[in-house]
Homo-oligomer: A and B are copies of this chain.
Amino acid sequence: MFAADAPTTSSSASSPIGRRFHTGISMRSLSHYTQCEVHALCNPVDLSAEELARVDSLVSEVRTVQRGASLFRANDSFSNLYIVRSGSFKTVVMHRDGREQVTGFQIPGEMLGLDGIVHGRHLCGAMALERSTVCVVPFEPLEDLCRAIKPMQRHLHKVMSQEIVRESNMIMLLGTMRADQRVAAFLLNLAGRYGSRGYSDTEFVMRMTRGEIGSYLGITLETASRMFSKLQHERLVHARGKQVRILDSDGLARL
């Protein structure tokens, strides 16, 4: 079950980004207080102190977004990228008939807004699933920086390419997988992303509703719910509401 298996940024750092416990349960202890900016944009690249400072100074603002509030909406003019510092988001696109589809969920360390670069307008909207904070990265200055610092340029390209890969995986999932496989892939993907960010990769809280999960996975909320029940009966996961524990990740992958 490889679909949607890629975190949105290529920050494969082993040290965590956030300072908040996510589930409150079975967290690795976080030994260092770390500036978010440093990790999200720069961790993957090796920079001099002076270069690091320039990257740091790029982050113009840390913004707080209340639960249910939009960070940006479809058709808003584009000028910033955002990096989730705490909390979580969903991105949604609207069909002309009013139906909307969730196109992604973002957790700390992941990037938002890349879709806006082409036309200078955001094509999806981003809404906070809980009270969240983001680092605001103005795009033009970021481009300037990328012309000056080669590893930074490479990093930005990787982040964008990663997003392309994430979406291909999603296309694969939507094009070929059964409902139970989709839910299993979704859980493994979330687990992997939490894991690589220092949270537990076997137990976490899903901030999104069944409806949002279903929309994301191209199934109805009822089917999503049934699949959670099915996976539970098969002893692959333990799920009560939004709290999930993965019991047999190999089993999930084998579906």
Which residues on A are within 8 Å of B, measured CB to CB?
A: 2, 6, 10, 93, 95-96, 99, 101, 103, 114-119, 123-124, 143, 146-148, 150, 153-154, 157-158, 160-165, 167-168, 170-172, 174-176, 215-218
Asked whether A168 lies within 8 Å of B167 as measured between CB atoms, the reply is yes
Q: Given the known inter-chain contacts A96-B2, A115-B165, please indicate yes or no for A175 contacting B174, CB distance below 8 A.
A: yes
List chain B residues, Cβ under 8 A from A175: 101, 174, 215-218
Find A171's partner among B103, B116, B154 (CB 8 Å cutoff). Answer: B103
Find the B residue at minimum CB distance from A219. B175
Docked Cα-Cα span, A124 to B164, in Å, equals: 11
Find A10's partner among B118, B168, B216 (CB 8 Å cutoff). Answer: B118
Find the B residue at minimum CB distance from A3. B95
12 pairs from A and B in contact (CB 8 Å cutoff): A2-B95, A95-B176, A99-B176, A103-B171, A115-B165, A118-B162, A143-B150, A143-B157, A147-B148, A163-B164, A175-B216, A175-B218
Q: Given the known inter-chain contacts A146-B147, A164-B164, A164-B167, please indicate yes or no for A118 contacting B176, CB distance below 8 A.
A: no
Docked Cα-Cα span, A160 to B101, in Å, equals: 22
Find A115's partner among B146, B153, B164 (CB 8 Å cutoff). Answer: B164
List chain B residues, Cβ under 8 A from A164: 114-115, 118, 160, 163-164, 167
